[in-house]
Amino acid sequence: MSPALRSYGKRPGKVQRFAAVLAIAFGAWVAQPMPDRAAAAERPIRIVVLGDSLTAGYQLPDSTAFPAQLERALKAKGLAVEVVNAGVSGDTSAGGLGRLDWSVPEGTDAVILELGANDMLRGIEPKVTRAALEKIVSRLRARGIEVLLCGMLAPPNMGQDYARAFDAIYPELAAASDVVFYPFFLDGIFDDRKLKQSDGLHPTAEGVAAIVARILPKVEELLSRVRTKPAS
């Protein structure tokens, strides 16, 4: 052992006091959680529902609209989520594209995209709807946001040619962009008058609950993608 090391062990004084303080400080630092990682792990996954009146909750209390009911269903499964209602009644796919940046703010992890029903009801050319939805999905994915695309189907009175072109938008876009896909947002309630309001178009609170129950596995798939995505 060198003289310097021997004297360090025998001579109490400033060096030993400094070493003791350093050891205490280091121990306290080690005991602290890693703030960035811990916060990221504990922060609820934020889902924005970008849609029209079907998700906005037309004629319904906020607490029974789709985003609120979905959030409760996910939390009942022990999942830490925040579901934000960015639905606007009467909105088209082009309208959703126009408000995309402020409707889906920074910090959003995933988007449930439910647009196109008003395009269909207005007879907008399917290629226009397709282009707007493609741009929405592309811009969201470029921001690292996972997407669940909700499909819509045209009724027979729109004509076979229109229905064929419109109905194809959603499965083809989902396949091309590798997003989570739910083929028909109104599945299970479209033909059930008890689950629709008097206008025959919008779901009641019970209808929304039926939609949530059916779409829940796809939303869980969406959350799984968020959780397993490599950290940027």
Taking only the tens place, the pLDDT of each residue in 65-96 is 999 999 999 999 999 999 999 999 999 999 99
Helical packing angle, 66-76 and 205-228, nearest 10° = 60
Q: How many Å apart are CA 74 and CA 106, to the nearest integer? A: 22
**Residue 46: predicted pLDDT:** 98
Q: How many Å apart are CA 150 and CA 92, to the nearest integer? A: 14
**pLDDT for 137 beyond 90:** yes
**Residue 41: predicted pLDDT:** 52
Catalytic residues: 53, 199, 202
Q: What is the mean pLDDT of residues 200-213?
A: 97
Q: What is the mean pLDDT of residues 33-47?
A: 62
Q: What is the mean pLDDT of residues 108-130?
A: 98
Lowest mean pLDDT among 40-49, 89-98, 125-134: 40-49
Taking the whole predicted model, whether its pTM rises above 0.75 is answered as yes
Asked whether 86 and 51 are in contact (CB, 8 A), the reply is yes
**Residue 15: predicted pLDDT:** 40
